[in-house]
Amino acid sequence: MVTNLPAEARAKWIKVMEARGVEEKIRALEEFLSAVPKHKGTANLRLWATRRLAELREELEERRKKKARKGISFFVEKEGAAQVVVAGLPNSGKSLLVKRLTGARTVVADYPFSTTNPVPGMLRYEDLYFQLVDTPPLVPGSAYFNRVIGLMRNSDAILLVLDNTRDPVREYIDLSRILEERGILLQKPRGRVVIERARTGKTGIRVTFMGKLVDATIDDVRKLLEAYHVYNAHVRVYGEVTLDDVEQALFESRVYKPCVVVINKAEINVASAREAAYRIREVNPNIPVVLGSAKLNKGFRDLGWILFKVLEIIRVYTKQPNGEISKTPLVLRRGATVYDVARAIHKDFVNKFLYAKIWGSSSKYPGERVGLYHVVEDGDIVEIRIKG
Ligand SMILES: Nc1nc2c(ncn2[C@@H]2O[C@H](COP(=O)(O)OP(=O)(O)OP(=O)(O)O)[C@@H](O)[C@H]2O)c(=O)[nH]1
Ligand SMILES: [Mg+2]
């Protein structure tokens, strides 16, 4: 095991996982930390927990302030198909970019730290909207740093804005390191474990594979989770994963966030921007790099489509038997099935399900009859037939 925690600390961790609300989580995390023995093996865990505590304390303070003066809060309610946090070093052009793409009224200024609060705006892509959130600059030790990190952790994706008049490759490397230290990974790890704990009902431990466990069996996973008193959970394994990764996932200490890099102010020196993009792609071939100029509002035409791709979402249109096709799509994760569509329409639909009819790229022919476990694709039209 990664951390070799004594039973007492594990028991305290259960309290952290079960805590609802920020205050309870803070208290539980404090108790957990005091129960973790101090040695090399737990150093990372303690560091992570300490930082997480700092984030939560700031969030709590923020919420209190908001209550007291109904003022602006750092917490941004999600809207649209996904929340994309726009982040970067001071003066890189985050605010101007968000303003250009969404029309949001956010402060643009030629001095650093001009943005002190997150400002959301909506970016349209076909029949979807993505919520872009302008943020204060990401500088460790600065007043807003922990809160911006908290926003990013909560987001669905990150738009990293680099400044072409400085050294964008350096900015990219520094920012990804800063984020990684805080447990936010911009690259999809080779293997990934997601543990969804069931709050109600006795479902037992269910493991589904989109990859494999390299050094353990499902039984080992079950034993590990039971050591943490987790008896009801859905464990999803993506790619190649070790038992250590499963334990890490229990601590939610690392999250992967899809990312798009923007090299802004490209108009100032197009050749250097291209060179920087090339080098960033060398460092990380999986992250899309967009060159553009917020000042001229050029280069961002495909951004909506690129976000749609990295978010790995699909749109499904529902249709009533002999009725109209819905105008607004259901937004689902890639790999979703008719089951997910049915559940999204109504909780009874899964129980009463008879069959579905499908039009679109996942169907063999228009109107094909399929069952609950048929995988749907972007643009599919789904009609669900139920009993009664
Ligand atoms: N030449 C050029 N200048 C730009 C571009 N985008 C932004 N700027 C300028 O860069 C300065 C900073 O822009 P902001 O949008 O305020 O930058 P920011 O990243 O939000 O800054 P902070 O909120 O302080 O982190 C302003 O003077 C902008 O006019 C661009 O594409 N080209
Ligand atoms: Mg700004």
pLDDT of residue 264: 98
- Distance from residue 230's CA to the centre of ligand 2 (Å): 43
pLDDT for residue 253 is more than 90: no
Q: List the one residue out of 150, 268, 124, 243 whose CA is nearest residue 191.
A: 243
The residue to mutate among 86, 91, 148, having the most atoms of ligand 1 within 8 angstroms of its beta carbon, is: 91
pLDDT, tens only, 92-111: 999 999 999 999 988 898 88
pLDDT at position 2 is: 55
How far is 152 from 381, CA to CA, in rounded Å?
33
Q: What percent of the chain has pLDDT over 90?
A: 57
Structure tokens given for 48: 């992570």
Cβ–ligand 1 distance for 47 under 6 Å, the answer no
Residue 318 Cβ inside 6 Å of ligand 1? The answer reads no
Q: Is the pLDDT of residue 67 over 90?
A: no
| Ligand nearest to the Cα of 294, by number | 1
| Position 362 confidence tier, pLDDT thresholds 50, 70, 90 | very high
324, 348, 344: which is closest to 332 by C-alpha?
A: 344
β-strands 119-125, 128-134 pairing:
antiparallel
What DSSP string runs through 23-64?
HHHHHHHHHHHHHS--SGGGHHHHHHHHHHHHHHHHHHHHHH
At 70, the pLDDT band (50, 70, 90 cuts) reads low
pLDDT score, position 271: 97
Q: Is 239 helix (H, G, I), strand (E, B) or coil?
A: strand
Q: Is 164 in the pocket of ligand 1 (CB under 6 A)?
A: no
Say what percent of the chain tops pLDDT 70: 96
Q: What is the pLDDT of residue 44?
A: 81
Spatial contact of 191 and 240, defined as CB atoms under 8 Å apart:
yes
- H/E run at residue 315: strand 313-319
- Widest Cα–Cα separation across the chain: 66
Which burial class, exposed, middle or buried, applies to 201 when counting CB atoms under 10 A from its CB (0-12, 13-18, 19+)?
Answer: exposed
- Mutate which of 86, 96, 151 for ligand 1? The one with the most ligand atoms within 8 Å of its CB, which is 96
Give the distance (Å) from ligand 2 centre to CA of residue 261.
17
Q: β-strand 119-125 against 368-370: which pairing, if any?
A: unpaired
The answer to whether the CB of 294 is under 6 A from ligand 1 is yes
**Residue with CA at minimum distance from ligand 1 atom 32:** 265
Q: Which phi and psi (to 5°) does residue 378 adopt?
A: -60, 130
Q: Share the mean pLDDT of the chain.
A: 90
Q: Is the CB of 90 under 6 A from ligand 1?
A: yes
68 band by pLDDT with thresholds 50, 70 and 90 = low
Cα angle at 129 between 112 and 132, to 5 degrees?
A: 15
User: Is 70 exceeded by the pLDDT of residue 72?
Assistant: no
Q: Which of 30-44, 60-74, 264-278, 296-310 has the lowest average pLDDT?
A: 60-74
360 CA to middle of ligand 1, Å? Answer: 43
Q: Is the CB of 264 under 6 A from ligand 1?
A: yes
Question: What is the pLDDT, as a whole number, of residue 138?
Answer: 95
Coil vs helix vs strand at 243: helix
Among protein residues, the one whose CA lies closest to atom 16 of ligand 1: 108
**Among candidate residues 347, 369, 357, the one with its CA nearest the CA of residue 323:** 357
- Specify burial of residue 328 (Cβ count, 10 A radius: 0-12, 13-18, 19+): exposed
- Residue 59 makes CB contacts below 8 A (sequence gap 6+) with 22, 74, 75, 147, 150
Give the closest residue (by CA) to ligand 1 atom 13. 93
What's the pLDDT tens digit per position in 142-155? 888 988 998 998 89
Q: Determine if ligand 1 sits within 6 Å of the CB of residue 292.
A: no
- Residue 81 pLDDT > 80, yes or no? yes
Question: Does residue 95 line the site of ligand 1, with CB under 6 A?
Answer: yes
Span from the CA of 136 to the centroid of ligand 1 (angstroms): 12
Q: Of 347, 337, 350, nearest to 385 (Cα)?
A: 350
Q: DSSP letter for 178, please.
A: H
353-358, long-range: CB < 8 A, 24+ apart: 353/384, 353/385, 353/386, 353/387, 354/385, 354/386, 354/387, 355/385, 356/382, 356/383, 356/384, 356/385, 357/382, 357/383, 357/385, 358/382, 358/383
Task: Answer whether residue 18 shows pLDDT above 90.
Answer: no
Taking alpha carbons only, the member of 322, 363, 356 closest to residue 339 is 356
* Of 99 and 255, the one with more pLDDT: 99
Q: Is the CB of 139 under 6 A from ligand 1?
A: no
DSSP classification of residue 357: E
**Burial of 215 per CB tally in 10 Å (0-12, 13-18, 19+):** exposed
